[in-house]
């Protein structure tokens, strides 16, 4: 019998209790140990407070970032139960913070009809991933406190005073041996808690950052609920119906709240939530809304002779052009599907939402014929543009078939045909394109030079895009279509890299391309396929020394401390064309040495707002944005 070098028997089998496993595999519970996972800790504690609000017991939640990145979350709910738990023989409060599957959200007769968060694992996971945590509870006439270190109890629940109030306060410091950073981003938290306040009508949420000399604070409370949410999302857009259309029904089975408004924009923005969880992949509630929207508008258009009998029906995408909508449903036992478990699967919800919207929207259109006519005029215009786009698309396909190639003429393709290992550089200008073509690794790097300013798609429909000589090569090179036809499985390159000059024009080109990808190839961003190349800003030359490239002003300063200024020639690169092929490879294209910034989308709503401000028709919001952010600009060449 073969003798193994290492014994493998019962002694090698590790048995971890729940919280030890959380510390060993944190990503399984909070997604990652990056800043995203760090923020997730705060969301989990706040989710518990919101559940109290959904149950009708909490009216105010206060979140503070204290100096040293300590988080404090306080609510005025009922307070976690403090009596002894029959099974664990310790207080219910300590059980919630030390047992992985303990909480008030399980079973039909629990304290909560519906809940968000991780359904009972939130508090204990946060405790396990914190250097220390302190929980103070007010209820039953007393003030109770317990303390923990890395999930272990250091002070069991102890009565420390009397109180006639109720509520729970949690303070914790995330564990720096687990997380990549402990530095919270105030704007990210502020955006998340604003969203929570919109989704929980009448709930007051305050967030305060006490870390710097200047305290940042925001207070949110929206009696208008989703109406207020849609108005906020559309604040920088021109509206067709000035007041959002609002639909709400709570029959005890599946409470539904919907608000939507039409704008003159060409993109659709629909956000859906289940129990305050953002269902980014949609699901049955979104399906019900879309079906009702399509049927009701078509029925109205036919019955009021806006569409003639010979005309075909409007498509769903025509009717959703320019819409901003928020759909929120509360489901007792939600079934989540999809790649990231953010797609609602409960089949009964489709019919509930669809019938509600059918009835409410039909009544609204009959009572508001002027608004109905204005919206449908836009829908019919969108339908004509879609047909024009289809013809333009077919023309492009036929033209390419006749030319026996489906790739743009200026594209220098790579030899590999495996998308995962291929990358395309979209390069500003023929000069830089020439250097990039000579300096690249032809096996896996393709080069697509662009020249001149391209179309601002924020102000254009798809038919204009197919006919645009600047964007058509990008569409053909990526190879996956655009808009509703975009298919991520057909992309020809795993990395789509924007390589532009480090000046104002280069920044504008990057923004135009990112606007195009966001509006017409959004899965490309969501899938992590879009990158920004980082060419160097400076080259330091000194006799007898190898050239040093600096990518930031800080790097320039550090190197000049290190080598001294005497005899050093500093070259400020203003364009990619200033570098020869070898330099471009060494600094910007060599996978071993280059710096690439991956374009990520943490918050689709925030991204939509920024693109609307920067690239839309309204001048006022753009001026405000520039004035507010001018102080952060670096390396500006005018």
Provide the mean pLDDT of the chain: 86
Catalytic residue among 208, 317, 505, 578: 505
Please state the pTM of the whole predicted model: 0.76
pLDDT in tens, 130-152: 999 999 999 999 999 999 999 99
In this prediction, residue 15 carries a pLDDT of 42
Q: What percent of the chain has pLDDT over 70?
A: 89
Q: Tell me how far apart the alpha carbons of residues 638 and 626 are, in angstroms, rounded to a whole number.
A: 15
The mean per-residue pLDDT over the stretch 357-367 comes to 96
Single out the residue of 506, 495, 633, 514 nearest to residue 578, CA to CA. 506
Predicted local distance difference test score (pLDDT) of residue 610: 76
How high is the pLDDT of residue 415? 93
- Is residue 635 over pLDDT 60? no
Q: What does the pLDDT average to over 288-312?
A: 92
Tokens 């006022």 belong to which residue? 620
Count CB atoms within 10 A of the CB of residue 362: 17
Q: What pLDDT was estimated at residue 236?
A: 87
Active-site option among 66, 287, 441, 503? 503
pLDDT of 341 strictly over 80: no
Q: With b meaning 16 or more CB within 10 Å and e meaning fewer, what string describes 485-513? A: ebeeeebbbbbbbbbbbbeeebbbbbbbb
Per-residue pLDDT at 225? 92
- Kindly tell me the burial class for residue 304, based on how many C-beta atoms sit within 10 Å of its own C-beta (0-12, 13-18, 19 or more): middle
116 has pLDDT over 70: no
* pLDDT at residue 231, rounded to an integer: 95
Res 204: pLDDT: 96
Q: Residue 213 and residue 58: Cα distance in Å, rounded?
A: 32
User: Binning pLDDT at 50, 70 and 90, where does residue 565 land?
Assistant: confident
Q: Is 503 a catalytic residue?
A: yes
Q: What is the pLDDT of residue 113?
A: 64
Inform me whether the pLDDT recorded for 500 exceeds 80: yes
Q: What is the mean pLDDT of residues 441-452?
A: 90
Reply yes or no on whether the pLDDT at 621 is more than 60. Answer: yes
Task: For residue 148, list its beta bridge partners.
Answer: 133, 153
Both tokens of 466, joined, read: 């197919």
Query: Which residues are bridge partners to 326 per DSSP?
Result: 259, 271
Q: What was the pLDDT predicted at 120?
A: 44
Active site residue 430: no
Residues 6+ apart with CB under 8 A from 315: 294, 383, 386
Give CA–CA dist 115/200, Å, rounded.
Answer: 12
State residue 138's pLDDT score. 95
Beta bridge partners of 548: 540
Mean pLDDT throughout 495-504? 87
User: Quick one: average pLDDT of 304-315?
Assistant: 86
- List the single range of 56-60, 308-312, 348-352, 591-595 with lowest mean pLDDT: 308-312
What would the pLDDT profile of 217-269 be if each residue is shown by its tens digit? 999 999 999 999 999 999 988 999 999 999 999 877 899 999 999 999 888 99
Structural tokens at position 166? 């109720």
Write down the catalytic residue from 44, 76, 428, 458: 428
- pLDDT for the residue numbered 504: 78
Give the mean model confidence (pLDDT) for residues 298-319: 90
Q: Of the residues 52, 501, 586, 608, which is catalytic?
A: 501
Written as six digits, the tokens of 460 are 């254009």
pLDDT on residue 246: 96
Rg of the Cα atoms in the chain:
28
pLDDT value at residue 29: 85
Provide mean pLDDT across the span 337-342.
74
More confident residue, 192 or 624: 192
Mean pLDDT value across residues 370-397: 85
Q: What is the structure's pLDDT at 101? A: 66
Percent of the chain scored above 90 by pLDDT?
51
pLDDT value for 67: 96
What confidence category does residue 110 fall into, taking pLDDT thresholds of 50, 70 and 90?
Answer: very low
Confidence of residue 8 (pLDDT cuts 50, 70, 90): very low
> Is residue 469 among the annotated active site residues?
no
* Domains of the chain and CATH, by start: 18-220 (3.30.565.10), 226-386 (3.30.230.10), 405-535+597-632 (3.40.50.670)
Q: What is the pLDDT of residue 18?
A: 65
505 is catalytic: yes
pLDDT digits (tens, 9 = 90+) for 208-225: 999 988 899 999 999 999
Q: For residue 579, which of 564, 589, 568 has the smallest C-alpha distance?
A: 589
pLDDT tens for 457-499 read: 887 777 778 778 888 889 889 988 888 788 999 999 999 999 9
Q: For residue 454, what pLDDT band results from cuts at 50, 70 and 90?
A: confident
């Amino acid at each position: 019998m073969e003798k193994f070098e290492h014994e493998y028997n019962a002694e090698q089998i590790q048995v971890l209790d729940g919280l030890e496993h959380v510390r060993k595999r944190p990503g399984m519970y909070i997604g990652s140990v990056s800043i995203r996972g760090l923020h997730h800790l705060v969301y989990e504690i706040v989710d518990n407070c919101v559940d109290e609000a959904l149950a009708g017991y909490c009216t105010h939640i206060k979140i503070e970032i204290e100096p040293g990145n300590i988080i404090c979350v306080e609510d005025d709910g009922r307070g976690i139960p403090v009596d002894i738990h029959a099974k664990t023989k310790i207080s219910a409060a300590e059980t919630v913070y030390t047992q992985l599957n303990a909480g008030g959200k399980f079973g039909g007769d629990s304290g909560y009809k519906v809940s968000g968060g991780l359904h009972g694992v939130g508090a204990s996971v946060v405790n396990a991933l914190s250097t220390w945590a302190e929980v103070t509870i007010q209820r039953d006439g007393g003030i109770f406190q317990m303390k923990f270190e890395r999930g272990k109890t250091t002070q069991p629940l102890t009565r420390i005073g009397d109180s006639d109030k109720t509520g729970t306060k949690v303070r914790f410091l995330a564990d720096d041996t687990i997380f990549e950073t402990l530095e919270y981003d105030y704007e990210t938290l502020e955006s998340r808690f604003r969203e929570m306040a919109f989704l929980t009508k009448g709930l007051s949420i305050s967030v305060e950052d006490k870390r710097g000399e200047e305290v940042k604070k925001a207070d949110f409370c929206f009696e208008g609920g989703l109406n207020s949410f849609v108005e906020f999302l559309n604040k920088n857009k021109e509206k067709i119906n000035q007041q959002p259309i609002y639909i709400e029904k709570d029959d005890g089975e599946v409470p539904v709240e919907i608000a939507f408004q039409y704008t003159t924009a060409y993109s659709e923005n629909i956000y859906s939530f289940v129990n305050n969880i953002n269902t980014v992949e949609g699901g049955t509630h979104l399906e019900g809304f879309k079906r009702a929207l399509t049927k009701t508008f078509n029925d109205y258009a036919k019955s009021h002779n806006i569409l003639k009998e010979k005309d075909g029906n409007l498509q769903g995408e025509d009717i959703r052009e320019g819409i901003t909508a928020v759909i929120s449903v509360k489901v007792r036992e939600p079934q989540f599907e999809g790649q990231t478990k953010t797609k609602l699967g409960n089949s009964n919800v489709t019919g509930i939402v669809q019938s509600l919207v059918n009835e409410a929207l039909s009544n609204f259109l009959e009572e508001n014929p002027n608004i109905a006519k204005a919206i449908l005029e836009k829908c019919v215009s969108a339908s004509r543009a879609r047909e024009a786009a289809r013809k333009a698309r077919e023309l492009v396909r036929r033209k390419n078939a006749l030319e026996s190639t489906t790739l743009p003429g200026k594209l220098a393709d790579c030899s590999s045909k495996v998308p995962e290992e291929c990358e395309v550089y979209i390069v500003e200008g023929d000069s830089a394109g020439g250097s990039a073509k000579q300096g690249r690794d032809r096996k896996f790097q393709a080069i697509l030079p662009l020249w001149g300013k391209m179309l601002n798609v924020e102000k254009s429909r798809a038919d204009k895009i197919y006919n645009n000589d600047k964007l058509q090569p990008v569409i053909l090179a990526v190879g996956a279509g655009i808009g509703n036809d975009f298919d991520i499985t057909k992309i020809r390159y795993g990395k789509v890299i924007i390589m532009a000059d480090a000046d104002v024009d280069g920044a504008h080109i990057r923004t135009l391309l990112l606007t195009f990808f966001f509006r017409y190839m959004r899965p490309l961003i969501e899938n992590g396929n879009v990158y920004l190349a980082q060419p160097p800003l400076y080259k330091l030359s000194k006799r007898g020394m190898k050239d040093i490239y600096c990518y930031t002003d800080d790097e320039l300063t550090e190197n000049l401390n290190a080598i001294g200024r005497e005899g050093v020639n500093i070259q400020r690169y203003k364009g990619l064309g200033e570098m020869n092929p070898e330099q471009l490879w060494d600094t910007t294209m060599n996978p071993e040495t280059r710096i690439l910034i991956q374009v990520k989308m943490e918050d689709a709503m925030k991204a939509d707002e920024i693109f609307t401000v920067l690239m839309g028709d309204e001048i006022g919001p753009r001026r405000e944005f520039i004035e507010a952010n001018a102080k952060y600009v670096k390396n500006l060449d005018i």
